Structure 1
Amino acid sequence: MSDYKYTNLAEIPSIKDKAAEWFHSKWGVPKEAYLECMDAFLNGETDYGWYLCLDNNKIIAGMGVIENDFHDRKDLTPNVCAVYTEEKYRCQGIAGKLLNMVVEDCRQKGISPVYLITDHTSFYERYGWEFLCMVQGDGEPEMTRMYIHR
């Protein structure tokens, strides 16, 4: 694990297209939507960033911060989104380290609290996240758990 590189997209903007394609392959959200958010970050239009873990030059985990992660509580912002770790790299603390990196980066920019939605019930608590409420996902019939990191 010590060989992994934890970074944000501003440190390696040349991998923007690769990162957008990687996130698209995991979540099915159009690549163009990721590129739009990443460009806004890289162009200084938003402080909400994109964070990656690399094994050599291969993306093995990542997440972003956006205004709203497709739910009805538009007042709960910003949201950590697109959290994903490749299966063979799970259970090594990679996502936790990225989550901590995101929270700290946001805090340094004066952004606090930060929110996320998930159907996981115990993972995020390990990293200081607290259950806040249930929210309605856009176009989803069921409610989803909303967490907060203060």
Structure 2
Amino acid sequence: MNEYKIIILRERPELAPIAAEWFHCKWGVPTEAYLECMEAYLSGKTENGWWLCLYGENIVAGLGVIDNDFHDRKDLTPNVCAVYTEEEHRKKGLAGKLLNKVVDDMANKGVATLYLVTDHIGFYERYGWEFVCMVQGDMEFF
């Protein structure tokens, strides 16, 4: 029987290439950019990490934390990025559980404030997030 399980990528580092490709397919950011961030995390160069929700062995939701999610406000850091849940697994609270987990994990590392760029009005507020300001994209991954 398949169950949902939230993991930190360091628990299953062998999933990095699969996760990088999964995030790429959802957001269009090059796989190599995700892999670079994941490798920095896995090697201990950063504590900005990657969280995945597995259903059995399949990634069905995930998110990451990076310094800047391609916007012009470099002072608003670190950023939760690439939040995504597969359509057939939505409305089960997975994104909320991932968000709560990343907030708790980063707080335990001494990071009290996280930022997030989104156009989903009202969704993140359900999980305690507050609107700070508008930002402009810099699209530096292209």
Q: What's the TM-score once normalised by structure 2's chain length? A: 0.95
Give unpaired runs (5+ residues) of structure 2.
Answer: none
Q: Does 1:71 align with 2:76?
A: no
Deviations 1:21-73 (A, max 9, x none): 00000001000000000000000000000000000000000000000000000
The CA deviation at 1:86 is: 0.2
Cα separation, 2, equivalents of 1:35 and 1:134? 28
Secondary structure at 1:54 match in 2: strand
1:129 aligns with 2:140: no
- The amino acid of 1:121's aligned partner reads I
Equivalent in the alignment of 2:84: 84
Structure showing the higher strand proportion among its residues? 1
> For 2:36 and 2:22, how far apart are their aligned partners in 1?
15
2:60 corresponds in structure 1 to 60
- Which secondary structure state, in structure 2, belongs to the residue aligned with residue 39 of structure 1? helix
Q: TM-score, normalised by structure 1?
A: 0.90
Q: Which residue of 2 aligns with 1:6?
A: 6
Instruction: State, as a whole percentage, how many aligned pairs show the same letter.
Output: 66
1:5 Cα deviation after fit: 0.8
The match for 1:30 is: 30
Corresponding position of 1:145: none
1:92 aligned counterpart, secondary structure: coil
Q: Which runs of 5+ in 1 are unaligned?
A: 140-150
Instruction: Encode CA deviations 1:102-128: one digit per residue, 9 max, x unaligned.
Output: 000100000121000000000001111
Question: C-alpha root-mean-square deviation of aligned residues, in Å?
Answer: 0.9
- Aligned residue for 1:118, secondary structure, equals coil
- Code of the residue aligned with 1:64 in structure 2: it is G
Deviation (angstroms), 1:132: 0.5
Q: Name the counterpart of 1:16.
A: 16
Higher relative contact order (CA 8 A, sep 6+): 2
Name the structure 1 match of 2:113.
113
Aligned to 1:51: 51
